Amino acid sequence: MKIMVVGYFHSAHWEPASVEALARLGHHVVGFDMARYWGKDYASRVVRRLQPRLAFARANRDLVAAVRKERPDAVYCRRSIEISADTLRTIRADAGAVLVSYMNDDPFGFRRGHPMWRAFVEAIPEYDVHLVFREVNVPEFHAHGARRCRVLLPYFVPELHRRLAVTEEDRARYGCDAIFIGHGAVDHRVAFLRKAAEAGCRIKVFGPHWSGPAAPKRLGGIEVRGGVFGEEYVKAINAARVCLCFYDHGNRDALTTRNMEIPACGSVLVAERTEAAMNVHVHGEEALFFDSPEEMIEHIRVLRDPALRDRIGGAGLAWAAKGEHRVEARMAVVVDEIERVRTGGDVGRPPLAITG
């Protein structure tokens, strides 16, 4: 089967990993990179905010041309909020391709008023299948005309997310009682991190957007550095004693990619307690979960014991070795959904809400 993957190819663990996994599953894959249409100058940002259809008119024209040239059996769009309903209708009419959308962000959360997200919501009925990140979105997508919608959990990439030996230089940069790798936000994570630092835990933070109300001075003096990606991200996870995981409540997240990536590296995941997270890992065996700063701090302190860290980290490696949460498993679900549509498996059926 020929599949066109539409998305942003600047992060190896996202679109490139999906392309490689689909190829390993035996499919012919071509990519269409949306990142090149995102101008970084001030004028481009203003036009995107006020007139998203105008801002991405060329992207939509080029996508239609690419589909006409490649004639894929399916077009798999990963967070492609630039694609208009008209473009999707044209692709269906010209190529008859199955249209699949994967959306890891929440169109019905705090983003819902943005013109770009309103345009995406208008296009929801044009897709054959929607794959979403959170359970709460399934009925919302159906209410906005989705033909079929199911949850597709995040994944880890075995070739990248793995246990590795860290150098003294790595330990000097990333070693600490607990590390948080993620963006800054004016939410609970600021208070949790500050209280951990005030309790004497050595915390390090890496990521963007730690300014204003989320500035380091509000974190109790915690050192904050820029984001780390790829191999550096894996080094950081391996060098720290504990890896913290917070969820973006504004985005209504109950799980993140870090829930998959940290245990796959053989490191200890200490994450907010949610039903979704606890459905993936066994508390006390493969990860530790918390509801309050005090519980999080207690986990950090207990995990100063290397034997306990080794036990939980080893259980994480065993969990990863089962393979059900690796990228190939997720792409197999995408392929199954495409085949369901191609073979008429949904003809005459009402929309389904499927999880897993």
Q: Sketch out the chain's domains with CATH numbers.
A: 2-155+326-354 (3.40.50.2000), 168-321 (3.40.50.2000)
Give the mean pLDDT of the chain. 91
State the pTM of this model. Answer: 0.91
Give mean pLDDT, residues 21-28.
98
What mean pLDDT is predicted for residues 215-241?
Answer: 90
Q: Indicate whether 301 pLDDT > 90.
A: yes
Task: Say what the pLDDT of residue 281 is.
Answer: 97
Q: Which residue has the higher pLDDT, 268 or 344?
A: 268
According to DSSP, residue 145 is labeled: T
pLDDT at 43: 59
Quote the crossing angle between the two packed helices 57-70 and 85-95, to the nearest 10°.
Answer: 10
Q: What is the mean pLDDT of residues 61-90?
A: 95
pLDDT band at 116 (very low <50, low <70, confident <90, very high): confident
Q: For residue 3, what are the β-bridge partners? A: 29, 74
> pLDDT value at position 356?
40
Predicted local confidence at residue 355, as pLDDT:
39
Give the pLDDT band of residue 100 (cuts 50, 70, 90): very high
**Using 50, 70 and 90 to split pLDDT, how confident is the model at 163?**
very high
From residue 176, how far is each of 83, 226, 245 by CA, in Å?
Answer: 43, 17, 15
pLDDT band at 23 (very low <50, low <70, confident <90, very high): very high
What percent of the chain is modeled with pLDDT above 90? 78
CA distance 237 to 317: 14
Contacts of 191-196 spanning 24+ positions with Cβ under 8 A: 191/293, 192/246, 192/293, 192/296, 193/219, 193/220, 193/222, 193/244, 194/218, 194/219, 194/220, 194/222, 195/220, 195/293, 195/294, 195/297, 196/293, 196/296, 196/297, 196/300
Helix (H) or strand (E) holding 349: none
Cα dihedral sign, 53-55-61-62: negative
C-beta separation of 6 from 75 below 8 A:
yes
Can you give the pLDDT at residue 353? Answer: 38
* Residue 347 pLDDT greater than 70, yes or no: no
Residue 51 in this model has a pLDDT that exceeds 80:
no
Task: Supply φ then ψ for residue 151, to 5 degrees.
Answer: -80, 135
Say yes or no to pLDDT of 42 above 80. no
| Residues counted in the chain | 356
Whether the pLDDT of residue 213 is over 90: the answer is: no
With contact defined as beta carbons under 8 Å apart, do 48 and 41 qualify? Answer: no
Question: Looking at the predicted structure, is the pLDDT value of residue 198 above 60?
Answer: yes
Residue 91 has pLDDT above 70, yes or no: yes
Segment 309-331 shows an average pLDDT of: 97
Please give the average per-residue pLDDT across 7-30, as a whole number.
Answer: 94
